[in-house]
């Protein structure tokens, strides 16, 4: 029993040595097998290498990269910091100035024989203080409506509106302002306070009346154009909201569809084009823009590209319809910028009362 106990440790050592020898031999054989097998594999082809390159370009495009994440093409607005800012442009020309001048000339032509003071009041800028002479002339025009010929009423109303629009009352003159408001109310006219403007301003009641009561006349259509240019909001305080461009598009396109032969079609095409251009610009506003505190570009991303294309289309129609006008001159300036996907520094039909 003592001899067996003495031999057992040597058997254990022998078994361990054999195990280690076999393990080492198998590992070495596996390494040689893998080495020679890999040498038989051909190198990747040039075509396979080229197939990987478009992935880099897609990820480098913020819109395409977002499409990979969300599965929805073009939904890049959740990553605004990756969108490069677009170059900007500005047009100093005011194409509607020509329309306003033509409107005044037409009113003077029709009404000056009966109202010789009209050229004077239509030509003067807004008075810096209450003007009793201007107020008196407005009341004279309104009184004449009851006695004048029916076909002259819309023209007289429109003339009275333009004259009254130059009347305002500074808020520090409280007693005078209250008196003027009372007198205006007797003729169904309103003055509203504007804190930013520092006074009370006429709300264009007569302009609305011309469009509402005489929409089928030439004067009614002219009134429509003026209302459209004002953003369909005559409050001077953005009372109908900031996004005037939506209402301009809705009203303007409806008019164009219903009245294809209107003499004022070019002006409306221009204004609708400006509304669509504003939509496009709003969708691309950046954090360093002067409008950044007022504009959230994500609100306008949907439909923005279509708005840009529609703006171009409307301005092209302006060029075709009114080639020798300020409308066409403006269109010629804005079309190339929109085609390059540039955005405006300033734009119409987004109201900020600040």
Residue 108's pLDDT band, with cuts at 50, 70 and 90, is very high
Q: What is the pLDDT of residue 5?
A: 42
> What pLDDT was estimated at residue 231?
97
Q: What is the DSSP secondary structure assignment for residue 350, as one 8-state letter?
A: -
| Alpha carbon distance 256, 308 (integer Å) | 19
Provide the 3-class DSSP secondary structure of residue 88: strand
199 forms beta bridges with: 170, 194
**pLDDT interval class at 354 (50, 70, 90):** confident
The answer to which of 83-87, 184-188, 190-194 has the lowest mean pLDDT is: 83-87
Q: What is the mean pLDDT of residues 320-327?
A: 96
How many helices, marked H, and strands, marked E, lie in the chain? Answer: 15, 5
Tell me if 195 sits within 8 A of 238, measured CB to CB.
Answer: no
Helix (H, G, I), strand (E, B) or coil at 5: helix
pLDDT for 10 equals: 54
Helix (H, G, I), strand (E, B) or coil at 195: coil
Task: Report the pLDDT value the prediction gives residue 222, as an integer from 0 to 100.
Answer: 98
Q: What pLDDT shows up at residue 330?
A: 97
Could you give the C-alpha distances from 14 to 1, 3, 10, 18, 22, in angstroms and in order? Answer: 21, 18, 6, 6, 13
What is the band of 187 on the pLDDT scale with cuts at 50, 70, 90? very high
Q: In the predicted model, what is the mean pLDDT of the chain?
A: 81
- H-run or E-run covering 284: none
- Give the pLDDT band of residue 89 (cuts 50, 70, 90): confident
Is residue 216's pLDDT more than 90?
A: yes
pLDDT at 263: 97
Instruction: Name the packing angle between helices 244-258 and 265-282 (round to 10°).
Output: 150
Task: Report which of 266, 226, 281, 220 is spatially closest to residue 248, judged by C-alpha positions.
Answer: 226
Rounded Cα–Cα distance for residues 142 and 2 (Å):
139
Domain spans of the chain?
87-229, 233-354
Kindly report the pTM of this predicted structure: 0.75
Q: How far is CA 295 from the centre of its chain?
A: 10
In whole angstroms, what is the distance from residue 126 CA to residue 201 CA? 11
Task: Enumerate the β-bridge partners of residue 168.
Answer: 201
Which helix H or strand E contains 344, and what residues bound it? strand 343-344
End-to-end CA distance of the chain: 109
> What pLDDT is stored for residue 25 in this prediction?
56
* Pairing outcome for strands 343-344 and 168-170: unpaired
CA distances from 147 to 68, 102, 109, 113, 117 (A): 72, 27, 20, 16, 18
pLDDT, tens digit, 9 for 90 and up, residues 189-203: 999 999 888 999 999
Rounded-to-integer distance, Cα 175 and Cα 38, Å: 100
Residue 27 scores a pLDDT above 50: yes
* Residue 150 banded pLDDT, cuts 50, 70, 90: confident
pLDDT 10s digits, 325-343? 999 999 999 999 999 999 9
Rounded Cα distance between 168 and 164, Å, is 9
Instruction: With a cut of 50, say whether residue 49 has pLDDT above it.
Output: no
Percent of the chain scoring above 70 in pLDDT:
74
Residue found under tokens 């006219």? 189
Instruction: Return the structure tokens found at 232.
Output: 């369909």
Give me the percent of the chain exceeding a pLDDT of 90. 61
Q: How many angstroms from the chain centroid is the CA of residue 89?
A: 14
């Amino acid at each position: 029993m003592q001899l067996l106990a003495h031999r057992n440790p040597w058997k254990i050592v022998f078994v361990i040595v054999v195990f280690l020898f076999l393990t080492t031999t198998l590992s070495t054989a596996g390494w040689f097998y893998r080495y020679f097998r890999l040498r038989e594999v051909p190198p990747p082809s040039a075509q396979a290498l080229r197939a990987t390159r478009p992935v880099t370009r897609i990820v480098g495009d913020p819109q395409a990269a977002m499409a990979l994440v969300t599965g929805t093409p073009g939904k890049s607005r959740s990553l605004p910091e990756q969108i490069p800012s677009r170059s900007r442009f500005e047009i100093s020309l005011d194409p509607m100035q020509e329309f306003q001048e033509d409107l005044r000339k037409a009113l003077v032509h029709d009404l000056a024989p009966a109202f010789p003071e009209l050229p004077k009041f239509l030509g003067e800028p807004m008075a810096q203080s209450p003007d009793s002479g201007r107020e008196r002339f407005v009341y004279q025009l309104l009184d004449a409506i009851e006695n004048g010929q029916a076909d002259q009423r819309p023209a007289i109303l429109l003339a009275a509106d333009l004259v009254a629009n130059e009347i305002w009352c500074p808020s520090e003159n409280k007693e005078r302002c209250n008196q003027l408001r009372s007198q205006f109310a007797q003729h169904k006219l309103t003055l509203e306070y504007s804190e930013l403007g520092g006074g009370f301003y006429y709300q264009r009641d007569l302009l609305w009346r011309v469009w509402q009561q005489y929409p089928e006349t030439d004067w009614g259509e002219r009134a429509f154009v003026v209302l459209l240019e004002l953003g369909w909001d005559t409050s001077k305080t953005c009372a109908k909201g900031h996004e005037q461009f939506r209402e301009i598009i809705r009203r303007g396109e409806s008019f164009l569809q219903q009245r294809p032969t209107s003499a004022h079609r070019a002006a409306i095409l221009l204004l609708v084009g400006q509304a669509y251009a504003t939509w496009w610009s709003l969708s691309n506003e950046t954090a360093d823009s002067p409008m950044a505190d007022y504009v959230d570009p994500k609100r306008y991303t949907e439909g923005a590209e279509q708005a840009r294309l529609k703006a171009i289309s409307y301005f092209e129609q302006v060029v075709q319809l009114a080639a020798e006008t300020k409308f066409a001159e403006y269109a010629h300036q804005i079309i190339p910028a929109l085609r390059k996907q540039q955005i405006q520094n300033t734009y119409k039909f987004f109201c900020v009362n600040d």
